[in-house]
Structure 1
Amino acid sequence: MKNAFWTTLSLLLVILVWYLAADRITPFTSNARVKAVLTPITPQVSGTVVEIRARNGQIVEAGEVLAVIDQRSYEIRVDEARADLARAMQDVGAGSADVESAQAKLSRAKADLETEKLQASRVFDLEAKGLVAIAKGDEARRRLSEAEAEVERATADLESIRTSLGSTGQDNPRIQKALAELADAELKLSWTTLTAPARGALSDLDLAAGSYARAGQDLLTFLDASNVWVEAYMTENNLGNIKIGDRVDVVLDRHPGRIIEGRVSSYSAAASDGTTSKPGQPAAIPRASGWLRSPQRFPVRIVLPDYMTAVETDDVRFSLNGQADVIVYTGDNTLLNTIGRAYIRVVSWFSYAY
């Protein structure tokens, strides 16, 4: 009886020592989840959904069409914008003709002024010699003044037309405005086609042709399959020896009995404590109740080098937030690493049952 007591006590001490050492050297957690980027597909224009081209869970490539919103009203707006552009170009062309006409008018006015100056000069010479009547000189001065005024009017008309017309060609403000409106119409037309932002799949597809899509409101849920990882939630005791690059064994509940090798990619320096603090105020401290406090957990990101992207032909399938068991090997401790590998193997077998 006495031997059994000491044997049991020794066994308990060995288990306790192993637990304390393993918690630091080969930390294990069953609190881990499969993660990927979840992106809401939000239309930027409103309209009736006329076509759904992707199935729920189907892997699609970046740029592949997921759904189409009724394009007819947006196509009409593009046609109107093109017509406005053509009209603006015609108006600028007509304005250019007006400039040419005003320029010709100014040239004629200047030529007439030179003629009047020449004739007036002769009359003024004769007037000075007393060879013509004073009335003749007054008439020459009147005609010269009118010619000068005509040049001023023609110059003002030309400047007014040029100001109204603006620059010629593509730099003309009217054409620039029409081009901008056309670009806006074409952009909105392109927004009627909803495409995959990356390689991935639609999740929880609850949409059918005939549904109404509103601009700015989420319409589809997209899972980015180009970046998949496992997030393990470790206690602060577990984090003591974990380093980026440490080897990890992962068991996914979706694939019981199988161990997948991974690596520590990063770990968070902060975690939510369930309280909030406003800027400029002291940090809010969570209350601890009872003698033993609950351990704070921090997310550790683990990548699976052979399965960093979800591929339909892969022998491993992922489900967002699917559960996983994780053990990290933080060093070269042969004994603890061997025990850890045996332990995660047993866990993988138990995952068949729960």
Structure 2
Amino acid sequence: MKSKKASAKKISILVIVLTFIIMLFNVLSSRFTPSTNQTRVHGLNLSLAPMVSGYITRVDVSLHSQVKEGDTLFIIDRKPYEIAVTQAEINLENVIQNLTAGLSGLKAATAQLNSARVKLDRAKKNWERTQRVMAQNEGALSEADRDRSESSYLTAIEHVATAKANLEGQKTALGPTDAKNPLVKAAINQLEKANWDLEHTVITAPSDGVIESFNVETGYFASAGHAIASLISNKTIWIQANFTENNLTHLKVNDEAGITFDIDAGEVYKAKVTSIAYGVKTQNTNAGDLPTVRSQQGWLREQQRFPVIIALEDQVVYKKLRQGSQANVVVYTGDSFVLNTLAKFKIWLTSKFSYVR
């Protein structure tokens, strides 16, 4: 009877010791070799929306097509936009022709002003001569001759003023005679816009990736600004691991890490920490609102998690990954041989369990 009690006592002590060891290992590993299974592959999801509206006349891709940056995906009916380009070119030619005609009128107005000035000069000299003759000999000229001379002079002055006004009016109406002319600038802008619209009837891939959310066929009317497909970019991919606050105690950028993916069971890849989030959003508040304090039920509250970005050493592995893929990560923050060895064994064992998960 005593031997049974002694055996039970030993077993109890052994259980307590093992529990303490396991608890101690969990505490140390959470600080020095933190791990998490809340890890996902993230990437950019690009909406493919046409810049112009029109009927789709050609479709060069299908659902899940692999595309390269610059590949042609869809073509919108180009005919209306080609007509718009032709019309804009004609409009520019008309503006230039009108500007040329205006320049001819400007030259004629200038010649008219020069002619008026010559006549004024002659009339002025004649009037001055008349005044001298009459001053020297009052009876040399009749009053009629004097009046005609004065009238010619005054009329010449009016003609010069009229010619100047006509010239200034044509200059104002014509504006600048080069590319700064408002009508020329407007016509050029119209042509550039028409060419821009025509160019964007061809929808190309903005990045390497895979076509998703695809339900377009020839004859579909595409509206400018409305997405007709999605492109999952495989050019920009990152791995986000969400660690608890106590995991971040010793975790730092450039720490080595091991990672295993559900999509590639049995493999453990080398990686490193590239960045650690400084904060996360915990509640929705507006400027001027009072802060909201949420009560936590239970004895132990749930730990807050923070995103940590992990980068693979082997860039080729990224080609295997898909957005939303899950993974397991362990980070080696120190040089402890025991803790690092146990952590490596744990992540290796986790990778093998991926076969039956």
TM value normalised by structure 2? 0.92
- Equivalent in the alignment of 2:223: 214
- Once the two structures are TM-superposed, the CA of residue 118 in structure 1 deviates from its matched residue by 2.1
- Once the two structures are TM-superposed, the CA of residue 308 in structure 1 deviates from its matched residue by 7.3
SS at 1:171's partner residue?
A: coil
The answer as to 2:330 corresponding to 1:322 is: no
- Equivalent in the alignment of 2:151: 142
SS at 1:237's partner residue?
A: helix
The answer as to 2:21 corresponding to 1:14 is: yes
CA contact (8 A) 2:96 2:184 kept: yes
- Equivalent in the alignment of 2:347: 344
The answer as to 2:349 corresponding to 1:353 is: no
- Equivalent in the alignment of 1:257: 266
- Equivalent in the alignment of 2:312: 304
CA contact (8 A) 2:95 2:187 kept: yes
CA contact (8 A) 2:36 2:330 kept: yes
- How do 1:260-271 and structure 2 match up within 5 A? 260-271=269-280
- Equivalent in the alignment of 1:96: 103
The answer as to 2:88 corresponding to 1:77 is: no
- Once the two structures are TM-superposed, the CA of residue 188 in structure 1 deviates from its matched residue by 2.0
Rounded Cα–Cα distance in structure 2 between residues aligned with 1:285 and 1:187: 54
Rounded Cα–Cα distance in structure 1 between residues aligned with 2:254 and 2:316: 15
* CA deviation vs aligned residue, 1:255-288 (integer Å, no higher than 9, x gap): 0001111111112122232x31112334323331
Rounded Cα–Cα distance in structure 1 between residues aligned with 2:190 and 2:264: 55
The range that moved more, 104-113 or 184-193, is: 184-193
- How do 1:103-182 and structure 2 match up within 5 A? 103-128=110-135, 129=137, 130-182=139-191
- Once the two structures are TM-superposed, the CA of residue 170 in structure 1 deviates from its matched residue by 1.4
* CA deviation vs aligned residue, 1:208-243 (integer Å, no higher than 9, x gap): 222222222222212222221111111111111110
- Once the two structures are TM-superposed, the CA of residue 310 in structure 1 deviates from its matched residue by 4.7
C-alpha change, 1:255 and 1:111, in structure 2 (3 Å) is same
CA contact (8 A) 1:42 1:220 kept: yes
- Equivalent in the alignment of 2:294: 286
Amino acid at match of 1:171: K
C-alpha change, 1:69 and 1:310, in structure 2 (3 Å) is farther
C-alpha change, 1:336 and 1:259, in structure 2 (3 Å) is same
Amino acid at match of 1:339: L
Aligned CA RMSD, in angstroms, stands at 1.8
CA contact (8 A) 2:214 2:228 kept: no
Rounded Cα–Cα distance in structure 1 between residues aligned with 2:199 and 2:142: 81
Aligned residues with identical type, % of pairs: 30
- Equivalent in the alignment of 1:65: 72
SS at 2:179's partner residue?
A: helix
Aligned length: 348
CA contact (8 A) 2:210 2:234 kept: yes
CA contact (8 A) 1:50 1:68 kept: yes
Rounded Cα–Cα distance in structure 2 between residues aligned with 1:252 and 1:208: 36
The answer as to 2:61 corresponding to 1:54 is: yes
- Equivalent in the alignment of 1:192: 201
* CA deviation vs aligned residue, 1:317-342 (integer Å, no higher than 9, x gap): 11111111111111111101101111
Out of 1, 5, 15, the position equivalent to 2:12 is: 5
CA contact (8 A) 1:57 1:202 kept: yes
CA contact (8 A) 2:208 2:233 kept: yes
- Once the two structures are TM-superposed, the CA of residue 185 in structure 1 deviates from its matched residue by 1.6
Rounded Cα–Cα distance in structure 2 between residues aligned with 1:310 and 1:52: 29
- Once the two structures are TM-superposed, the CA of residue 301 in structure 1 deviates from its matched residue by 0.8
C-alpha change, 1:55 and 1:184, in structure 2 (3 Å) is same
Rounded Cα–Cα distance in structure 1 between residues aligned with 2:173 and 2:316: 62
C-alpha change, 1:38 and 1:329, in structure 2 (3 Å) is same
- Once the two structures are TM-superposed, the CA of residue 92 in structure 1 deviates from its matched residue by 0.6
SS at 1:141's partner residue?
A: helix
CA contact (8 A) 1:45 1:192 kept: yes
Rounded Cα–Cα distance in structure 2 between residues aligned with 1:37 and 1:286: 33
Any unmatched runs of 5+ in structure 2?
A: 1-6
Rounded Cα–Cα distance in structure 2 between residues aligned with 1:121 and 1:318: 101
Any unmatched runs of 5+ in structure 1?
A: 312-316
SS at 1:176's partner residue?
A: helix
- Equivalent in the alignment of 1:314: none
Rounded Cα–Cα distance in structure 1 between residues aligned with 2:294 and 2:81: 54
